[in-house]
Amino acid sequence: MPTSKISPYDVIIIGAGINGCCSAYSLAQAGLNVALIDQGGIASGGSGAAGAFISPKISKAGELKEIMSEAHVEALAFYTSHFPQFTLVKPLLHIANSPKEGEKVESFKRESHLKHSNIPHKIQTLLSDEALHSASIYFDMGAVVDAQGVCHAMAEGVDFYPMRVEQLTHADGLWEVGKLRSKHLVLAIGAYPKLLPIDYVGLRGIWGHRIDIETSTHIPCILHHHVSISPTTKEGIVAIGATHDVHYSPFLLEPYDVEQGRALLLEKASKTLKLNNINILNDYMGLRSGSNDYLPMLGNLVDAEATLEKFPHLRHGEKINPREFVYYPNLTMVNGSGGYGFVLAPYLSKRLQEHLTTDSSLNPLLSPSRFFQRWAKRK
Ligand SMILES: Cc1cc2nc3c(=O)[nH]c(=O)nc-3n(C[C@H](O)[C@H](O)[C@H](O)COP(=O)(O)OP(=O)(O)OC[C@H]3O[C@@H](n4cnc5c(N)ncnc54)[C@H](O)[C@@H]3O)c2cc1C
């Protein structure tokens, strides 16, 4: 790690989860001088816990579906070509876990351009009656990546600083983070405290627990049902995950009941198929950071105080063109990926890289400031 006097970086990225690491990788590949910071090490947040499936989101037609489909196709190409050693490609069977989800699966099946076929007989013989008789879609190609391995590989060659950022200042056209300075700042801090007064950014943490197990049952493909059950890049290890708990928060410092989490995972997995001779090897837990409208976030941040001073009538519901708002200079947030951080990261970081290197504009639909106007009215 460099010490003494440090000349300014082009970009400082705070947060070395998949969003921070993939952004660092894309920006460094484009020739920018990047510093990456994390308080707990690379992939120490939600990303280190992820099962990291590169799976399509089964959703109904709309903006979210369009973005997720594009991101999924880009992610499959990205991981298999840039990080094949951390990527396991396998067929993927998605089974609906409720009648409502069954409807989504059926409509997705009708509209999807992704190659899918009938479930092979050898996989059918593994499945429970419930799984076999639920709506499902069998994709010829799915993938799962080694979450920690890929984040570390992406950060290789980038200056990494293990430190907790407490304060951000901007002076003379540069961001200052401790002794580091840069023109651009990227906030990729997941579900952690926001570092700036940006309460309008609609995010919530969703706790997840997954396990790695050994089992004598051979799992030939990636299975998504009540939980995911999948082979991994590590020979003989099967991943089961993950729980979705919107109530538990590690920030409240309550103890988390690991045994209860394990029991829940195994109980849910047993609804899909029977796993024999199970030996639990590892637990992984973390917070996903989900946006209130399920779309990810990539964009500049409104300086709420300065904007309300400029347009005090925003508080009374006056509509202002978001271009007129006051934004923090050269500051971009990438966040809100929910349970699809590994699917979305290549898509988001590619657009971030184009934005910072060619000044191309970012999709306003994804702007974290999309929540500002409504928040200002409620104040
Ligand atoms: C159990 C589980 C299973 C999942 N499975 C999948 C899956 O199969 N497929 C998929 O695509 N996604 C999956 N996800 C979701 C995915 O992991 C998240 O979307 C992704 O981790 C979000 O990455 P991030 O970089 O935004 O946040 P994080 O990984 O949380 O990274 C944020 C980082 O910022 C750092 N940080 C925050 N504040 C500061 C500060 N002040 N100073 C210094 N550092 C700071 C934190 O230490 C942290 O490392 C799963 C998540 C969980 C928890």
* Alpha-carbon distance values, 232 to 86, 145, 221, 268 (Å): 10, 8, 10, 19
Helix axes 63-82, 341-358, angle to 10 degrees: 90
Confidence of residue 4 (pLDDT cuts 50, 70, 90): low
- 27 backbone dihedrals φ, ψ, rounded to 5°: -70, -40
Q: What is the 3-state secondary structure (H, E, C) of 78-119?
A: HHHHHCHHHEEEEEEEEECCCHHHHHHHHHHHHHCCCCEECC
Residue nearest to atom 10 of ligand 1 (CA): 340
205 lines ligand 1 (CB under 6 A): no
Q: Report the sign of the C-alpha dihedral through residues 189, 297, 226, 238, in that order.
A: negative
Pocket test for ligand 1, best of 166, 203, 337, 344 (most atoms within 8 A of CB): 337
In the chain the domains, ranked by start, together with CATH numbers, are 9-46+150-202+293-378 (3.50.50.60), 84-144+204-286 (3.30.9.10)
pLDDT at 1 over 90: no
Q: 311: part of which helix (H) or strand (E)?
A: none
Atom of ligand 1 nearest to the CA of 344: 11
Closest CA to 53 of 174, 150, 162: 150
241 lines ligand 1 (CB under 6 A): yes
289 lines ligand 1 (CB under 6 A): yes
- Find how far residue 210's CA is from the centre of its chain: 16
Q: How many helices (H) and strands (E) does the chain have?
A: 11, 16
Note the pLDDT of residue 5.
56
Instruction: Give the whole-angstrom CA distance, residue 96 versus residue 127.
Output: 13
Pocket test for ligand 1, best of 25, 47, 349 (most atoms within 8 A of CB): 47
Instruction: Give the whole-angstrom CA distance, residue 112 versus residue 119.
Output: 17
Confidence of residue 259 (pLDDT cuts 50, 70, 90): very high
Rounded to the nearest angstrom, the distance between the alpha carbon of 15 and the centre of ligand 1 is 9
pLDDT one-digit tens code per residue, 182-211: 999 999 999 999 999 999 998 999 999 999
pLDDT one-digit tens code per residue, 33-74: 999 999 999 999 999 999 999 999 998 888 999 999 999 999
pLDDT one-digit tens code per residue, 109-165: 998 889 999 999 999 999 999 999 999 999 999 999 999 999 999 999 999 999 999
